[in-house]
Amino acid sequence: MSLTGKIAIVIGGARGIGRGIVLIHCSHDKKQPPNQILQVAFTYVSPSSKAHAEALVREVESLGSSAYAIQADAACLSSPEAVMSSTLTAFNVSHLDILVNNAGLGSAGTRIEEITSDEFDKIMAVNVRAFISMTQAFIPYARLGGRIVNLSPISARGGYATQSVYSASKAADEALTRVWATELGQKYNITVNAVNPGPVDTDMYRAAGEVHLARMKEQDRKTPAAPRASTEDDVAEIVAFLCEERSRWITGEVVCANGGMFYT
């Protein structure tokens, strides 16, 4: 598996699945010469994640790759262009190869009767609008053969109570994946895919609310591949493959990386 010489951006990369994606991308190129290493920029939102981001940069550098952390709120309208330009400047390049849209804002665990317009707007701004705006900002700099991977958990199709807005936002991401595969394929030679993880044992998973967490733990025990939640690496390895040249004939797909919890 090789991503030699690629320039990658992971939106939401300091913790959880995003962190796993950053590390998996870099770990495969640790023996490359300095001018051919993978260079990856990743974003984080809050000051509380700064220490995690700095530690991740050091870990990436220990693997022989190069990383750059960018504090940026994906929901902010000025962030996409700022993220792209910061990455180009940091690595002294004029092109980009890989965009992983991993920004995610979870549900407040509210039932349909309790959903507010504020909750709806906040979740959609991060989980849908940011995916669109980051992709729009990426395209002008994308090299032929580029890769876009959207993260869209099983809430998009699971029908889970208290997840109305979050589920709708992730279903939208799957729809965007198919549309972009059609729009960007022949025009830019860019493949666009989504990865559909099940429960992944991260901070966001554990903070999803008691009702949702209890349901997920019960569901985890029934997962065909193993009676557990996914690890970060379970998902990150699939994302890394979709960013490789070997995945060139896969586009517009939602790849289930959930241990068989859902089949397609």
Residues tagged active-site:
166
Identify the CA nearest to 97 among candidates 33, 28, 188: 188
Cβ neighbours of 38 (radius 10 Å):
28
For residues 118-146, one letter each, b for 16 or more C-beta atoms within 10 angstroms of the residue's C-beta and e for the rest, the string is: ebeeebbbbbbbbbebbbebbbebbbeeb
Cα(91)–Cα(110) distance, integer angstroms: 43
Q: What are phi and psi of 113, to 5 degrees?
A: -65, -20
Cα(204)–Cα(209) distance, integer angstroms: 10
CA distance readout (Å), 130 to 6, 75, 92, 169: 23, 6, 25, 11
Question: What string of DSSP letters covers 75-126?
Answer: TSTTHHHHHHHHHHHHHT-S-EEEEEE--------B-GGG--HHHHHHHHII
**DSSP-assigned beta bridge partners for residue 78:** none
The residue length of the chain stands at 264
Cα(153)–Cα(259) distance, integer angstroms: 13
The residue whose two tokens read 């009702």 is: 211
